[in-house]
Amino acid sequence: MQQLSGSSQVMITAPKKKKRPPLAWVGQGFFIVLAILVAGILISNLIRQPTLFAQFFISGLQLGFVYAMIALGYTMVYGIVKLINFAHGDVFMVGAFVSYFAVARFRLHQWPLAAFPQISPGVGVVIGSITVILLSMVICSALAVTIERVAYKPLRDAPRIAALITAIGVSFFLEYFGALNFVFSPRFIPYERPFEVVAWYIKDGIHLIKPGEAPPDGAITFSNILVIIIIASILVQIFLQFLVKRTKIGIAMRASSYDKPAARLMGINVDSVISFTFAIGAAFAGLGGVLYAIAYSSIWTQLGILPGLKAFVAAVLGGIGSIPGAFVGALIMGQAEAMTMGYISTPMRDAVAFSILIIVLLIRPTGIFGEPEKEKV
């Protein structure tokens, strides 16, 4: 990977063109044919049924923005400790379960109305939901920091694969420990939402879908949870950009990712920076978990595996270590998945996700936004 990125730099700086390798056209032709095929399927469907296409696009957006929140944790952790944190997807799952217990068991989302009956119900629901989300985020952060301290920190100087196997072990542990009956239980659990999902349809303007009523044919539907996911994801993005670029801890994170020994010499406590990175990433994964559970309304202990892996693919696609890259990569992954589900077949969605990983790594190993050996977090 480093060699390839090095050669691309040479090509930019050196004025004379490198000799093209023999038979390069075969591989390029293969991918051009593939790209034309994909574009053909998409465009023909867009022309034939634009509303259906728009509907798939919206479901892709919803997936993509959720993946974006998970991918941030992957990309930040990988940027600093060069570890694929397999357990990140399971932290996402824990976030969903914490909110489930907070809502269904402890009715935490109703505390504002219980404590201050005079405030309006709308405000109460908003405050209650935000409390639930914050609780999930805090617990996920605590969990991630514990995992980091117990499992990853002793292995920081070990071979990277040892840490990777440990990460897989932690992921397994969370999944199966969660599947015990006294923890989360192994069943699919219907998720009780802290607020009601309201859906609208777009046809000659935006109309509310009343309960028990089907939207008319050819209408594009969307729900408030989609809007919330998009807003939350963008807010997280802005917050993280601010954190990394403007604050002291952000500078410490960038310094640690750039050169750990040098950062230590400059008086940065690298261990606490790493813990902080895990905590931040896990908080966003927890947020993503709650929103994912609200959107898809069914949870179980292996919920986090595939979204986690796909978010990792998204982080690689955008350029691992780059925060905007993770965001863009996640949006592309969401669209790819939604379009595959719509136009090819639902089971092939995972195949497409991993094919994208392989193709991206072959064509551009640094990802879309990846700039090797530059500031990364």
Which residues of this protein are in contact with other proteins, per CB under 8 A? 1, 21-31, 84, 151, 154-155, 158-162, 164-166, 168-173, 175-177, 179-181, 186, 302, 305-306, 309, 312-313, 316, 345, 347-348, 350-351, 353-355, 357-358, 361-363, 365
How near is the Cβ of 177 to other proteins at its closest, in Å?
A: 5
How near is the Cβ of 334 to other proteins at its closest, in Å?
A: 17
Nearest residue to 101 via CA among 226, 189, 172, 181: 189
Residues 70 and 238 sit within 8 Å (Cβ to Cβ):
no
The nearer residue to other proteins, 110 or 302, going by C-beta atoms, is: 302
How near is the Cβ of 93 to other proteins at its closest, in Å?
A: 14
Question: For residue 41, what are its two tokens?
Answer: 């399927």
Give the burial class of 293: count Cβ atoms within 10 A of its Cβ; 0-12 exposed, 13-18 middle, 19 or more buried. Answer: buried
How near is the Cβ of 75 to other proteins at its closest, in Å?
A: 13
The nearer residue to other proteins, 194 or 367, going by C-beta atoms, is: 367
Question: For residue 314, what are its two tokens?
Answer: 């998204």
Q: Alpha-carbon distance 283 to 133, whole Å? A: 10
Nearest residue to 203 via CA among 178, 190, 221, 177: 221
The nearer residue to other proteins, 223 or 355, going by C-beta atoms, is: 355
| CA distances, 110 to each of 106, 133, 190, 195 (Å) | 9, 13, 19, 10
The nearer residue to other proteins, 147 or 255, going by C-beta atoms, is: 147
Q: Alpha-carbon distance 88 to 282, whole Å? A: 7
The nearer residue to other proteins, 58 or 344, going by C-beta atoms, is: 344
How near is the Cβ of 188 to other proteins at its closest, in Å?
A: 15
The nearer residue to other proteins, 6 or 169, going by C-beta atoms, is: 169
* Opening angle at CA 323, ends 64 and 2, nearest 5: 110
How near is the Cβ of 166 to other proteins at its closest, in Å?
A: 5
Give the burial class of 350: count Cβ atoms within 10 A of its Cβ; 0-12 exposed, 13-18 middle, 19 or more buried. Answer: middle
How near is the Cβ of 361 to other proteins at its closest, in Å?
A: 5
The nearer residue to other proteins, 33 or 208, going by C-beta atoms, is: 33
Q: Alpha-carbon distance 326 to 305, whole Å? A: 18
To the nearest 10°, the Cα dihedral for 171, 330, 139, 377? 90
The nearer residue to other proteins, 12 or 161, going by C-beta atoms, is: 161
How near is the Cβ of 52 to other proteins at its closest, in Å?
A: 22
